[in-house]
């Protein structure tokens, strides 16, 4: 039993050792994929150096690097190294308002002098192009982006690094980077704002006594760049020195470039300002609708307020939650107030419509007007009657009396009374022919007497019209002028301030 147990323990130990070695190999292969291990000339043995031909460029590079120590800066304990920086902007991403950052793709170029790398006199060219892998064998400034959030090198299809060594010992390094930089935004004038976004290049470990950054001539280069929301121009770029002091460590060199980005307002004009303006104007249509038509006026006002609220909420989700008021917030709040005021105006009108005292007053006014009109009509009719009786106007009395007598004579009592000398349709009259409706000449006469009153009794009286107080109509009349004028005045003040 003990022998079997020992064998099992030995097998488990071998299995664990095998797993450990396989995991280490996997990690080493992953590291190999990320970057190749570079052997610098200073690490080569004399036998390896002797195998290189004497007149070759490799031998010249080996002679330069065989005693080179990348851990020590040039001019050690002497004057500080001057690193001249230059940037070419390959692409510029739009600013993200929610995260307050922007992304750029740049070629970062640095040039400094290292006396240890002066080319020998037997080298005929003015510069030596070196494999990018030698980048790890050289001393280089410890530059970093002070306001960087995220950055990465590019290695498709090879490491995007360019390395030159000049005859006088100048070293030029150019590398392609994609950097996400923070840009604190001032959105007080949004969307008519202009943003200043910085890119700060600072030394991490070398103080100003060891390393100094400075801009080359023409520090930032770029082709014409088109951004979806902003305009950026070469002449608007500014440069500065941002050397910083950290208590306990000292002063550290820093240079910065400031991009001036002017926002284009066209998108927000078409997507926010124009729709909200039309919604506010739509809410004013209720002032021209009859005050008692609540089924039409209330939904119109509620629809306007809800549309403005949803527009402001959707816009707020795309912007950072800042504590101050933005220009577009003032516009949306004003539009909401105008839409809400139209609802309040109709609420006041509705209160007036349902006020018993105002309704009674209006009824009294209407009755008074009707009485006045009746009196005027009676006066006119009495004046006409007097004129007719006195023979001073209208139809003469004897002519009117003769016409009435003649009309009465023409009314027939039977079909036989019809004058056959004037009509040939006596035998073709319908059975339901009513003598009372026609005269003896076959012409219709007006129905008088009980028939007329009987027809009026059969018809139902129309429903009474609702009494609308004059105050309600007056409020709508004032609102038709007050609301558009107030909104126009607000627009004049708003656009004169923010444009």
Model confidence pLDDT, tens digit, residues 372-389: 887 778 777 776 665 554
- How many Å apart are CA 96 and CA 183, to the nearest integer? 9
Instruction: Please calculate the CA angle 182-183-185 and round it to the nearest 5 degrees.
Output: 140
User: Under a CB-based contact definition with an 8 Å cutoff, are residues 472 and 349 in contact?
Assistant: yes
- Enumerate the β-bridge partners of residue 438: 444
User: Under a CB-based contact definition with an 8 Å cutoff, are residues 49 and 66 in contact?
Assistant: yes
Residue 186: its pLDDT value, please?
A: 93
For residue 192, CA distances in Å to 73, 233, 236, 267 come to 49, 17, 17, 11
Bridge-based pairing of strands 170-182 and 101-113 is antiparallel
Residue of 270 and 370 predicted with greater confidence: 270
Residue 206: its pLDDT value, please?
A: 95
Of 231, 315, 322, which is closest to residue 273 (Cα–Cα)? 315
User: Under a CB-based contact definition with an 8 Å cutoff, are residues 319 and 326 in contact?
Assistant: yes
Measured N-to-C along each axis, helices 397-410 and 356-389 cross at an angle, to the nearest 10 degrees, of: 100
Per-residue pLDDT band for 407 (boundaries 50, 70, 90) equals: very low
Average pLDDT, the chain: 81
DSSP assignment of 87-122: EEEEEEPPPBTTTTEEEEEEEEEEEEE-GGGPPPTT
**Tell me, what DSSP letter sits at residue 132?**
G
61's tokens: 């590079």
pLDDT digits (tens, 9 = 90+) for 154-168: 988 888 999 999 999
Residue 164: its pLDDT value, please?
A: 93
Kind and range of the H or E run holding 352: helix 327-353
User: Which of the residue ranges 242-246, 289-293, 488-492 would you say has the lowest mean pLDDT?
Assistant: 289-293
Residues 257-280: what's their mean pLDDT? 94
pLDDT digits (tens, 9 = 90+) for 175-223: 999 999 999 999 999 999 999 999 999 999 999 999 999 999 889 999 8
Bridge-based pairing of strands 238-241 and 127-130 is unpaired
Q: Is the peptide bond before 389 cis (omega within 30 degrees of 0)?
A: no
Task: Read off φ and ψ for residue 463, nearest 5 degrees.
Answer: -65, 145
Q: Where are the alpha helices (DSSP H) in 354-396?
A: 356-389
pLDDT digits (tens, 9 = 90+) for 422-470: 444 444 445 444 444 555 555 555 545 444 445 544 566 666 667 778 8
């Amino acid at each position: 039993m003990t022998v079997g147990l020992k064998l099992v323990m030995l097998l488990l130990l071998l299995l664990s050792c095998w797993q450990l070695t396989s995991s280490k190999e996997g990690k080493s292969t992953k590291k190999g994929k990320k970057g190749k291990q570079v052997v610098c000339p200073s690490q080569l043995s004399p036998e390896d150096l002797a195998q290189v031909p004497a007149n070759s460029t490799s031998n010249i590079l080996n002679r330069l690097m065989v005693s080179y120590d990348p851990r020590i800066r040039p001019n050690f304990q002497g004057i500080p190294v001057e690193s001249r920086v230059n940037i070419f902007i390959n692409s510029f991403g739009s600013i993200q308002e929610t995260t307050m950052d922007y992304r750029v793709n740049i070629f970062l170029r640095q040039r400094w002098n290292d006396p240890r790398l002066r080319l020998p006199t037997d080298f005929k060219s003015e510069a030596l192009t070196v494999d990018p892998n030698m980048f790890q064998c050289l001393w280089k400034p410890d530059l970093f982006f002070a306001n960087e959030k995220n950055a990465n090198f590019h290695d498709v299809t090879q490491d995007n690094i360019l390395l030159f060594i000049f005859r006088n010992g100048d070293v030029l390094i150019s590398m392609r980077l994609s950097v996400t930089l923070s840009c604190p935004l001032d959105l007080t004038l949004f969307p008519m704002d202009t943003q200043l976004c910085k890119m700060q290049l600072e030394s991490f470990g070398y103080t100003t006594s060891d390393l100094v950054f400075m801009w080359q001539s023409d520090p930032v280069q770029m082709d014409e760049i088109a951004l979806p929301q902003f305009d950026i121009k070469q002449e608007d770029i500014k440069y500065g020195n941002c050397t910083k002091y950290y208590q306990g460590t000292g002063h550290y060199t820093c240079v910065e470039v400031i991009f001036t980005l002017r926002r284009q307002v066209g998108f927000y004009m078409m997507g926010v300002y124009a729709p909200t303006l039309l919604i506010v104007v739509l809410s004013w249509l209720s002032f021209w609708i009859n005050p008692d038509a609540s089924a039409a006026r209330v939904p119109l006002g509620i629809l306007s307020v809800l549309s403005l609220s949803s527009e402001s909420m959707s816009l707020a989700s795309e912007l950072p939650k800042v504590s101050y008021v933005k220009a577009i917030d003032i516009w949306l709040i004003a539009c909401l107030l105008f839409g809400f005021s139209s609802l309040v105006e109709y609420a006041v009108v509705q209160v007036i419509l349902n006020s018993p005292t105002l309704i009674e007053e209006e009824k009294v006014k209407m009755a008074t007007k009707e009485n006045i009109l009746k009196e005027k009509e009676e006066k006119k009719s009495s004046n006409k009657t007097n004129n007719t009786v006195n023979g001073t106007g209208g139809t003469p009395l004897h002519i009117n009396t003769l016409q009435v007598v003649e009309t009465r004579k023409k009314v027939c009592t039977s079909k036989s009374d019809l004058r056959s000398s004037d009509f040939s349709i006596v035998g073709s009259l319908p059975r339901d022919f009513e003598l009372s409706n026609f005269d003896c000449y076959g012409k219709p006469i007006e129905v008088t007497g009980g028939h007329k009153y009987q027809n009026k009794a059969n018809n139902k009286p129309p429903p009474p019209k609702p009494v609308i107080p004059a105050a309600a109509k007056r409020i709508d009349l004032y609102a038709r002028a007050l609301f558009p004028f107030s909104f126009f005045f607000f627009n004049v003040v708003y656009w004169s301030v923010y444009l």
